[in-house]
Amino acid sequence: MVMQELRPLAALLATVLLVLLSGCSGSTTPPLTPTTYTAISAGGEHSCSIRSDGTVECWGDAEYGRADPPRGRFAAISAGGAHSCGIRHDETIECWGDSRFGQADPPRGRFTGIAASYGHSCGIRNHGTVECWGWDNFGQADPPRGRFAAISAGGAHSCGIRHDETIECWGDNKYGQADPPPGRFAAISAGGAHSCGIRHDETIECWGDNKYGQADPPRASATISSPTERAEYPDINLSPEDQAELAELSGGLVSGMTGEQTAHAVICNVALKQADSNMGVVFNLLLLVQQDFAASGVEPIGREWERYIDEEADYIMAIEAYERASVENPDVVHVGLSYAANLASARLIEALAEWSAAGAEVVESLRGPDESMAIGRMGLLAEQSEELVGVIAPCLEHPDD
């Protein structure tokens, strides 16, 4: 069996929506000055991205103002047909561009997820419920009740992943695009008249209109069938350098990647990919909480905070080791180093959850103009990071051998 590279957890992932629209007027060009970005989304004749400083930059057709974003810092971005929406660092949504159907007129409140389409938009509130606005001729802006972890807005339908990891869709179902298959999924994307999702075995399944083969995804040449059976995962031969680095980074846990450890590497990788959708929100919340402490002149202290700092240093070391090896020897799949980076990611999330839970009492002593907001943010950080720990729990359960 062919073992695919297990990539370390990314800091932020963006959902890319492709919506084709006709018509063109003014346009802007893509950024030319060197900079770095954390998120990107492609919409109808325009694209938008989030710079590393949190500001938004858009380019392409500027009709309706779709490529003219507001000022300020954002944590998430989604480009629709002729409008765009983003989540600010205070978790409110702001949209710009065409709003003939009300698609750029978001409701008030705090959100953790956003999806913009042609005539409607949907967001996930911080307590997990979905709210949509805009064009609703097929019920695409009338979401079901319950809590969701991910959302995607299609042409005239929408889909989301519930907290039990099943998919539910609503809206136009002419081609079966709102009729998802059963089972557990880690990612979802709704298109014009079809939808696709990634299952937890990392295979893709699509449903809906298939006129051009868009609902017929490629099949992997090898699949992972049983992560609990040792025979399914032969040992991986690592370079001596990788083995030494891995043994150091993983606390001696792995020195040669046995079958059970390879199985755990796969399980850990899947768990962290599932957590990706909420990672950006959690660490943006952490940034805001740290700013709250700084504004009050209070330093985060305590055993839990010290552990977080230690785990953060280990995580940075693991990521740097993986990236260095990938640059120096790009033709080698550095499975061991990737596994170590994923383990460090999981421990970092666990440490953050412990500190935010313990720090909820400390933050009540903060003083400042935004005191109540700071307390609320800390409580939300504790809640969201604890949920992430539940998602990555399989990664924290180390194999015995």
Domain assignment present for 225: no
| pTM for this entry | 0.52
Q: pLDDT tens, 11-23?
A: 322 222 222 222 3
SS3 400: coil
Q: CB neighbours of 137 closer than 8 A, spacing ≥ 6?
A: 156
Boundary-marking domain end, from 189, 208, 227: 208
**60-74 mean pLDDT:** 93
DSSP letter, residue 230? G
The total domain count for the chain is: 2
pLDDT-derived band at 317 (thresholds 50, 70, 90) equals confident
Domain containing residue 47: CATH number: 2.130.10.30
Q: CB neighbours of 256 closer than 8 A, spacing ≥ 6?
A: 235, 238, 243
Rounded (10°) angle between helices 335-362 and 371-396: 150
Is 256 found in the same domain as 203? no
Q: CB neighbours of 252 closer than 8 A, spacing ≥ 6?
A: none
Best CA proximity match to 54, nearest among 79, 77, 33: 77
Boundary-marking domain end, from 156, 191, 208: 208
* Contact by Cβ (8 Å): 61, 27: yes
**157-184 mean pLDDT:** 94
Is 173 found in the same domain as 293? no
Q: What is the mean pLDDT of the chain?
A: 76
307 is in which domain, residue-wise?
240-396
